[in-house]
A = this chain, B = another copy of it.
Amino acid sequence: MNDEGKSPGSSARSNRKDARRNQQALLDAAAAVFVASGVDAPVRDIAAKAGVGVATIYRHFPTRADLVVAVYRHQIDACAEAGPTLLAAGPTPYAALGKWADLFVDFLVTKHGLAAAMQGDSTGFETLHALFLDRLLPVCAHLVEAADASGEIRSGIDAYHLMRGIGNLCVGAETDPRYDARHMVALLIAGLRHPT
């Protein structure tokens, strides 16, 4: 799908010293600016914080989504790896699914506007959406299948729908103290069970 051969995301590192240094500076700056102003902070702010020109951002991270995933890659990976772990540890697959959802929610809620950005509304965030999905959808699907096989949830639940739903429920959670995304996600997960 992507022409990985030249993807400048974070895996294909240049052999030039300054390029590597700038890439790291950008990642650090972006991480700082994201927590301060959200993931849709102005490009110029990030460039200024990193002490580079704006073009350098586009050279290293062609789309904003590339930068976001590069910044949060570790946490996305951690979330992905927690799936099988929870499944092995939890009392039941359904319990593991619930705990995994909590992890995912915590991740989304603590990043300003990440949940909103993930829902490919208008800007070029479809890539972000896709990258999250590539990494996390299989994990979620695995959990759902296990819970399904154990007979704990009603059948016909689609992992994609569930991930979208959880992500959606986290939109705006950090800007509205009256809203508790975790609670809503818990209700959604409860709704997965067989109807009485």
Query: Contact residues of A with B, CB < 8 Å?
Result: 38, 40, 113, 116, 119-122, 160-161, 164-165, 168-172, 175-176, 178-180, 183-184, 186-196
Contacts and interface: CB of A to CB of B under 8 A. Distances in A.
B161 A179 contact: yes
A194 to B, nearest CB: 8
A12 B37 CA distance: 38
Nearest to A189: B191
A116 to B, nearest CB: 5
A179 B164 contact: yes
A192 B117 CA distance: 28
A141 B67 CA distance: 42
Query: Could you tell me the dominant secondary structure of chain A's interface residues?
Result: loop
Contact of A190 (B161, B171, B175, B191): B191
Contacts of A184: 161, 164-165, 168, 188
Nearest to A169: B168
Contacts of A40: 122
B165 A169 contact: yes
A171 B113 contact: no
A195 B190 contact: yes
Contacts of A122: 38, 40, 113
